[in-house]
Structure 1
Amino acid sequence: MSRFPLYTLDTAPEQSKPVLRQLQQAFGIIPNIAAKMAASPVLINGFIGLFQRVHASSLSEAQLQVLLLTNAVTNASEWAVAFHSALALQQGIDSADVDAIRAGGAPHDAQHAALSTLARALIETRGRIGELDQQRFIDAGFSAAQILEVIAVVAASTITNYTGSVTQPELEAPFDTFAWRAGAR
């Protein structure tokens, strides 16, 4: 038996149930990663609060998916790479750009490349990006304030990425097509 069971609306701690209901309404399913996250009301409620703020930022849903996919690849989170590959394509991200990110590269779209490059740099340097990294991002048409929004996205996705690495959720059938292995980069 797994140390981290898949919780349902019936079995989850009471304080986790509202988030599971919200995710089921948004996706039509309770993602397995959230079902495992539900063991900790502190974690799942912190996760949803930050994600709600991130999705209300100045970045578009497509831009957020570029960031979330980049973060998942950089953190080698197999579940999150599959999930965000599917969502990125749903948001209209070119399949070649999704493939490039999954391979550890940058998308061809200039703004998406700037987002992806900044997110990867933030993760790899543990936030110690230089002036040149910041200027390249701004030169791509973003603002200094949006650098801070990217930090919020990195923080939010780190919750998911680390949870996936620790709990190893099974990939749901709708995302099987997008399965990814960390050694594939």
Structure 2
Amino acid sequence: MSNHTVHTIQTAPEQSKPVLERLQRTFGLVPNIAGAMAASPTLINGFIGLFERVHASRLSEPQIQTLLLTNAVTNRSEWAAAFHTALALQQGVSRADVDAIREARLPADGNLAALSALARTLIDRRGRIDCADEKRFIDAGFGAAQILDVIAVVAASTITNYTGSVTQPPLEAQFAEYAWQAPTR
């Protein structure tokens, strides 16, 4: 059981309210993970700045959602895995590719597989990749600078994933069909 409050716009600290209002406009709801983050204006404001920049990067929304779902599964973040399953499907990532990521496999789509593999490698190796990892990513059609965009997505999702693991926010009803449980180790 978590001792953390999931804030609403009304109950959040004043410095957190503008972020929750922006998320309300973006998603039509304040995601429970953001409500949990709102207890720390430092965290929620740092997160939103990076979040907005990630979604304005050179990566497409299906690519970003592939990364976010991969990161959630790799970090064993159950709330984020459900949320990003819904968003990945909404952004046109195939059900087969979403299922592969949720099962810690690479998607069949080569472009998405390269992104997913790089993200998983960055997380598993604590940011260290080798020349072969970089070559595989570039051979899939990406530029070397896009590795840095992937790092930004990993950083943004790490905030969400860790917050979810610590605060354990409830999963919203509209994402219940996408619930995911981390396999036991």
Normalised by the shorter chain, which TM-score bucket?
Answer: over 0.9
Determine if the alignment matches structure 1 residue 110 to structure 2 residue 110: yes
TM-score where L is the length of structure 2:
0.98
Q: Which residue number corresponds to residue 157 of structure 1? A: 157
Structure 1, unpaired ranges of 5+: none
Deviations, residues 60-85 of structure 1 (Å, cap 9, x unaligned): 00100000000000000000000000
Shift of 1:8: 1.1
**How many percent of aligned residue pairs carry the same amino acid?**
71
Deviations, residues 46-103 of structure 1 (Å, cap 9, x unaligned): 0000011111100000100000000000000000000000000000000000000000
The letter for the 2-side match of 1:182 is A
**Dislocated runs of 4+, deviation >6 Å:** none
The letter for the 1-side match of 2:53 is R
Shift of 1:3: 2.1
2:183 aligns to what SS in structure 1? Answer: helix
Q: Which residue number corresponds to residue 92 of structure 2? A: 92
TM-score where L is the length of structure 1:
0.98
The letter for the 2-side match of 1:87 is L
- Partners of 2:73 and 2:61 in 1: how far apart? 18
Q: Which residue number corresponds to residue 167 of structure 1? A: 167
- Partners of 1:132 and 1:44 in 2: how far apart? 36
- 8 Å contact from structure 1 (residues 106, 117) kept in 2: yes
Shift of 1:162: 0.2
- 8 Å contact from structure 1 (residues 103, 184) kept in 2: no
Shift of 1:169: 0.5
Determine if the alignment matches structure 1 residue 43 to structure 2 residue 32: no
Aligned pairs, number: 185
- 8 Å contact from structure 2 (residues 2, 168) kept in 1: no
- Partners of 1:9 and 1:162 in 2: how far apart? 22
Report 1:27-66 matches (<5 A).
27-66=27-66
- Partners of 2:8 and 2:177 in 1: how far apart? 25
Q: Which residue number corresponds to residue 123 of structure 1? A: 123
- Partners of 1:31 and 1:113 in 2: how far apart? 28
Distance 1:35 1:128, change over 3 A: same
Q: Which residue number corresponds to residue 82 of structure 2? A: 82
Shift of 1:6: 1.3
Q: Which residue number corresponds to residue 3 of structure 1? A: 3
- 8 Å contact from structure 2 (residues 71, 158) kept in 1: yes
Q: Which residue number corresponds to residue 178 of structure 2? A: 178
Deviations, residues 109-138 of structure 1 (Å, cap 9, x unaligned): 000000000000000000111010000000
Shift of 1:183: 1.2
- Partners of 2:63 and 2:150 in 1: how far apart? 10
1:183 aligns to what SS in structure 2? Answer: coil
Distance 1:184 1:104, change over 3 A: farther
